[in-house]
């Protein structure tokens, strides 16, 4: 009973705050409405006894939204998002797409023949979930992660305006490097 | 003697935990006042009444809000700090008792200290004031530098105990406290506590050079809550270090709960005293120190712990 109430309250908070993202007129409020939505989802995961996954979701999403808020304020909107703004653009098409997506997903959830439980849950459901998600695909995951790191590094290198020749000179022998700001460890 | 199976307390115990945290925070305020008086060459007597004076003054002061401030987010940020500190100590066992015996208590503490990012930035954003906003951004710049070293610092005791449950981590230190063979992790953890409490070298988000930063526009009860939140976070950080690094409730003669309190008070006193002994950390330089010095150091610490644990079988 208590769990049912908690589930419905968390579900409603998650959906309502996700809607608020598109209703509020401030970038900070939109960001933290989204954060609240994610936190509600993370807490709902606790109801599945996935305590690690639930708490880590809360942790990562709070961190991510705190950083994302900074970027949203920096980049979104013609003004730097310090004035009232809207998260909604091209209202009619957006409404159509989102309504269609919602109908498809909700119909899927309602119409799919859900399997009945066979056996009992594993004693450690978090380990069981990890095994089910990753067990067979471990090799793929191990290969993908260095590729992702390489992609991030490459992206930063390509996007950076200053190359190592700007920092260390044509013969790469300038010491200390010529940086616009000093670093914290004497460089 | 730490108890591996702590008892979850009822509502009375929850209130007691809140009261203990508040008392520790008050003790920190008094100690800081005494140290400040001594540094200024004044008699220390007045500092003892300082928390009470300041509380009464702020409660009587009128709350004000600047033009077009985002009052909702501002008040949420300011009120949240004390709540986060309470949620942190919820997983810290006091001898036999604990408020919430989470099987992932270590991760819980980490999630709560990340919530401070959100709250401090909101306190900076809310009042629609340049100085506050600069303070909020300064905190995020520091947070990016200290958070990963802090995360990997609390990984070390968890690996050493092979558990994310705080009571298990405390129980795994029978005979040898983790602080003895994980000194790097302990030092980095303490730096993290100073940082998420906006204390000492990490107080630049509320520095005088930005007219008080995130504190600039706070008045009345809002200011009281933020200041209380800082001291409560410092106390909660010290309390969490006890089961993680300082052997939990283990110690001679006294019962477990008394040892937890004694160790917490000693560490809290040391953290308060550090305020006047360390230089301020400049936010634009902190990132490189955090990621080039602290992060590799604490990763090596984690590796050593993992190898020792694997070798012991």
Domain locations in chain A? Answer: 1-84, 140-179
pLDDT tens-digit profile of B44-68?
A: 887 788 788 888 999 999 988 888 8
Determine the residue of chain B that is closest to A33 in CA distance.
B73
Chain B residues in contact with A181 (beta carbon < 8 A): 284
Distance, in Å, from the CA atom of A70 to the CA atom of B282, rounded to the nearest integer, reads 19
* DSSP label at residue B97: E
Phi, psi of B97 (to 5 degrees): -105, 150
B224 neighbors B162 (Cβ within 8 angstroms): no
Q: Give the best residue of B76, B121, B290 to mutate against chain A (max A CB count within 10 A).
A: B121
Quick one: pLDDT at residue A187?
62
Interface of B with A (CB under 8 A): 70, 72-73, 102-104, 107-108, 110-111, 114-115, 117-118, 121-122, 125, 137, 140, 143-144, 147, 164, 282, 284-290, 292-293
Does residue B281 have a pLDDT over 70? yes
Query: Given an 8 Å threshold on Cβ–Cβ distance, is B114 in contact with A63?
Result: yes
CA–CA distances in Å: residue B109 to residues A158, B104, B240: 38, 9, 8
- Contact (Cβ atoms closer than 8 angstroms) between residue B270 and residue B180: no
Distance CA B89, CA B9 (A): 13
Question: What proportion of chain B, given as a percentage, has pLDDT over 70?
Answer: 99
Chain mean pLDDT for chain A: 87
- Tell me if chain B has a CB within 8 Å of the CB of A51: yes
Upper half-sphere CA count for residue B189 (Cβ side, 13 Å): 30
Distance from CA of A59 to the nearest CA of B (A): 4
Tell me which residue has tokens 């500092």.
B47
Mark residue B41 as left, alpha or beta (left: phi above 0; alpha: psi -120 to 50; beta: remaining).
Answer: left
How many other CB atoms are there within 10 angstroms of residue A44's CB atom? 19
Radius of gyration of chain A (CA): 23
Across the interface, whether the CB atoms of A28 and B104 are under 8 A apart is answered no
A41 CB near a chain B CB, below 8 Å? no
pLDDT band at B252 (very low <50, low <70, confident <90, very high): confident
CB distance B288–A183 less than 8 Å?
yes
The residue of chain A nearest to residue B120, with distances taken between CA atoms, is: A66
Q: Across the interface, do A55 and B108 touch by the CB < 8 Å criterion?
A: yes
pLDDT at residue A184 above 80?
no
pLDDT band at A78 (very low <50, low <70, confident <90, very high): low
pLDDT tens, B291-302? Answer: 999 999 999 999
Q: What was the pLDDT predicted at A83?
A: 67
For residue B2, the model assigns a pLDDT of 46
Q: Please tell me which residue, A123 or B160, carries the higher pLDDT value.
A: B160
- Contacts of A91 by beta carbon, 8 Å cutoff, 6+ apart: none
Q: What's the rounded mean pLDDT across residues A132-149?
A: 90
pLDDT in tens, A97-108: 989 999 999 999
Residues of A in contact with B121 (CB under 8 A): 66, 69-70
For chain A, report the end-to-end CA distance as a whole number of angstroms. Answer: 61
Q: Please tell me the total number of residues recorded for chain A in this structure.
A: 187
C-beta of residue A185 within 8 angstroms of C-beta of residue B292: yes
pLDDT above 90 covers what percent of chain B?
Answer: 66
* CA–CA separation, B265 and B234 (whole Å): 11
**B97-111: pLDDT as tens digits:** 889 888 899 999 999
Tell whether A63 is within 8 A of chain B (Cβ).
yes
| Distance between CA atoms of residues B150 and B154, nearest Å | 6
The label of the residue with tokens 């809140």 reads: B18
Chain B environment of A51 (Cβ under 8 Å) = 102-104
pLDDT digits (tens, 9 = 90+) for B121-174: 999 999 989 999 999 999 999 999 999 999 999 999 999 999 999 999 999 988
User: What's the pLDDT at A178?
Assistant: 82
Residue B287 and residue A184: Cβ atoms within 8 Å? yes
Angle between helices B105-125 and B220-245 (to 10 degrees): 160
Which residues of chain A are within 8 Å of residue B102 when distances are taken between CB atoms? 51, 55
DSSP assignment letter at B202: G
Q: At residue B4, does pLDDT exceed 70?
A: no
**Interchain CB distance below 8 Å, A182 and B287:** no
Calculate how close chain A gets to B242, using CA atoms only, in Å.
22
Compute the C-alpha angle B106/B111/B117, nearest 5°.
140
Do A182 and B285 make contact, defined as CB atoms within 8 angstroms? yes
CB-CB neighbors (< 8 A) of A183 in chain B = 285, 288, 292
What pLDDT, in 10s, does the model give residues A32-62? 999 999 999 999 999 888 899 999 999 999 9
Mean of all residue pLDDT scores within chain B: 91
Q: Which helix (H) or strand (E) holds B289?
A: none
Residue from B75, B102, B111 to probe the interface with A (highest A Cβ count within 10 Å): B111
Selected for mutation to probe chain B from A43, A55, A127 (highest B CB count within 10 Å) is A55
Residue A80: pLDDT band (50, 70, 90) is very low
Tell me the mean pLDDT in the region B12-18.
90
User: Residue A178 to residues A87, A157, A186, B289: CA-CA distances in angstroms?
Assistant: 41, 17, 12, 18
Q: Name the more confident of A80 and A153.
A: A153
How far is Cα B81 from Cα B234, in angstroms, rounded to an integer?
11
């Amino acid at each position: 009973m208590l769990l049912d109430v908690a589930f419905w309250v968390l579900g409603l908070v998650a959906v309502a705050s996700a809607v608020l993202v598109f209703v509020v007129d401030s970038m900070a409020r939109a960001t933290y409405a989204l954060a609240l939505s994610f936190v509600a989802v993370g807490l709902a995961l606790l109801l599945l006894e996935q305590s690690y996954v639930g708490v880590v979701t809360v942790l990562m999403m709070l961190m991510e939204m705190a950083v994302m808020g900074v970027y949203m304020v920096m980049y979104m909107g013609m003004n730097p998002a310090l004035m009232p703004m809207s998260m909604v653009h091209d209202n009619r098409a957006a409404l159509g797409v989102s309504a269609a997506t919602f109908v498809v997903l909700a119909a899927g959830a309602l119409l799919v023949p859900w399997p009945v439980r066979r056996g009992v849950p594993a004693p450690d459901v978090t380990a069981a979930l990890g095994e089910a998600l990753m067990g067979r695909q471990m090799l793929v995951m191990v290969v993908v992660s260095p590729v992702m790191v390489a992609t991030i590094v490459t992206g930063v290198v390509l996007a950076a305006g200053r190359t190592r020749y700007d920092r260390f000179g044509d013969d790469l022998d300038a010491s200390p490097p010529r940086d616009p700001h000093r670093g914290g460890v004497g460089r | 003697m730490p108890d591996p199976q702590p008892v979850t307390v009822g509502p009375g115990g929850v209130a007691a935990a809140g009261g203990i945290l508040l008392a520790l925070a008050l003790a920190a305020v008094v100690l800081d006042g005494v140290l400040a008086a001594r540094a200024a060459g004044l008699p220390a007597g007045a500092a003892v009444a300082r928390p009470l004076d300041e509380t009464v003054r702020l409660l009587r002061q009128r709350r004000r809000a600047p033009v077009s401030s985002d009052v909702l987010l501002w008040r949420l940020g300011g009120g949240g700090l004390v709540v986060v500190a309470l949620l942190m100590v919820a997983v810290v066992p006091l001898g036999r008792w604990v408020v919430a015996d989470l099987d992932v208590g270590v991760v819980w503490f980490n999630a709560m200290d990340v919530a401070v990012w959100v709250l401090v930035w909101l306190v900076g954003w809310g009042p629609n004031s340049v100085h506050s906003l600069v303070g909020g951004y300064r905190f995020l710049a520091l947070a990016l530098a200290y958070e990963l070293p802090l995360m990997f610092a609390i990984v070390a005791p968890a690996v050493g105990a092979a558990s994310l449950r705080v009571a298990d981590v405390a129980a795994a230190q029978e005979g040898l406290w983790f602080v003895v063979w994980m000194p790097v992790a302990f030092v980095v953890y303490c730096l993290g506590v100073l940082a998420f409490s906006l204390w000492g070298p990490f107080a630049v988000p509320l520095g005088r050079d930005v007219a008080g930063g995130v504190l600039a526009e706070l008045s009345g009860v809002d200011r009281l809550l933020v200041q209380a939140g800082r001291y409560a976070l410092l106390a909660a950080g010290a309390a969490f270090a006890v089961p993680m690094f300082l052997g939990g409730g283990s110690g001679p003669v006294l019962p477990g709960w008394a040892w937890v309190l004694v160790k917490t008070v000693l560490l809290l006193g040391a953290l308060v005293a550090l305020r006047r002994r360390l230089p301020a950390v400049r936010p634009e330089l902190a990132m490189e120190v955090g990621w080039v010095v602290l992060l590799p150091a604490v990763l090596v610490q984690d590796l050593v712990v993992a190898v020792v644990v694997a070798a012991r079988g």
